């Protein structure tokens, strides 16, 4: 089967799993499915950081157990707000420092710190996704679409207008013009989503509606621009780690797509940061 055929088949299978879980009347099928996805990402994180198969599997299972513990504690429904701000600190300060120093600096960080940072980011993302599902289907779909539209708009905007390289030592194809195009795409998505939302009986307010109502117009637009930018940071951080160890993909778990981390990297900072902004 060709690479394109593999990508299509894998995408169809993933959608066949994700859509029923997302739209199920209860929230637990989505929480369970994403727990499996994030557990696989935990295994990949171990492999990317030179851990053996047994240690990497243990990391994936350990992450899954931490997610189950949070679920049993009721945090998927009523999470501690501090979890979002901890994730924000990791992504904003830790991510900025890592990106500034480049791929060569990553192997010099203590192994325990590298493993802990990855697991903390994955755990916070799972908790944020689970809580977002409790907030409503319209809400969680708006977060997913924000990331996807930012990525698509950045790709095409970068190809058309890209001149200034964003991080040439990490991802040579990315440009500042692509980042701005991603933000513009998110603003257009917000306008379209709000127009449709005003005409349908949605089960919950979208992220766009909540940010604009709680932070005001300028605050909401600034928050959306921040979220679009952080989706790029998530992508760059995974690229940095892969480049540091000479890996093309995080794994071969998803034929035609690479690994689970390759598919969810941009989502990891956006979900907890969205909830942190709403807590303001």
pLDDT digits (tens, 9 = 90+) for 6-28: 777 888 888 899 999 999 998 88
Give me the pLDDT at residue 7, please: 74
Give me the pLDDT at residue 69, please: 94
Give me the pLDDT at residue 3, please: 59
State the Cα–Cα distance between residues 58 and 153, nearest whole angstrom.
38
Give me the pLDDT at residue 1, please: 56
Give me the pLDDT at residue 254, please: 83
Show the beta-strand stretches assigned E in the chain.
165-167, 171-175
Query: DSSP of 196-261, one letter per residue?
Result: HHTTS--SS--HHHHHHHHHHHHHHHHHHHHHHHHHHHHHHHHHHHHHHHT-SSS-SSBTTTB-HH
Query: Which residue positions in the chain have pLDDT lower than 50?
Result: none
Give me the pLDDT at residue 172, please: 87
């Amino acid at each position: 089967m060709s690479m394109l055929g593999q990508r299509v088949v894998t995408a169809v299978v993933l959608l066949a799993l994700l859509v029923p879980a997302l739209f199920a009347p209860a929230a637990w099928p989505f929480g369970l499915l994403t727990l499996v996805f994030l557990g696989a990402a935990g295994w990949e994180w171990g492999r990317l950081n030179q851990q053996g198969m047994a240690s990497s599997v243990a990391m994936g299972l350990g992450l899954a157990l931490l997610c189950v513990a949070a679920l049993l504690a009721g945090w998927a429904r009523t999470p501690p707000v501090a979890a979002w701000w901890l994730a924000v600190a990791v992504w904003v300060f830790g991510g900025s420092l890592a990106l500034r120093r480049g791929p060569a600096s990553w192997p010099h960080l203590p192994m325990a710190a590298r493993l802990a940072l990855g697991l903390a980011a994955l755990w916070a993302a799972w908790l944020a996704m689970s809580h977002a599902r409790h907030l409503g289907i319209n809400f969680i779909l708006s977060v997913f679409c924000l990331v996807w539209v930012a990525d698509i708009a950045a790709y095409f905007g970068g190809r058309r207008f890209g001149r200034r390289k964003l991080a040439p030592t990490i991802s040579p194809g990315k440009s500042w013009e692509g980042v701005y195009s991603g933000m513009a795409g998110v603003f257009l998505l917000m306008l379209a989503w709000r127009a449709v939302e005003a005409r349908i009986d949605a089960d919950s307010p979208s992220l766009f509606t909540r940010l604009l109502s709680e932070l005001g117009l300028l605050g909401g637009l600034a928050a959306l621009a921040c979220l679009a930018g952080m989706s790029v940071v998530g992508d760059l951080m995974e690229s940095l780690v892969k480049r540091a160890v000479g890996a093309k993909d995080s794994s071969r778990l998803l034929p035609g797509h690479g690994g689970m981390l390759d598919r969810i990297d941009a989502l990891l900072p956006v979900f907890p940061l969205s909830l942190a902004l709403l807590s303001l």
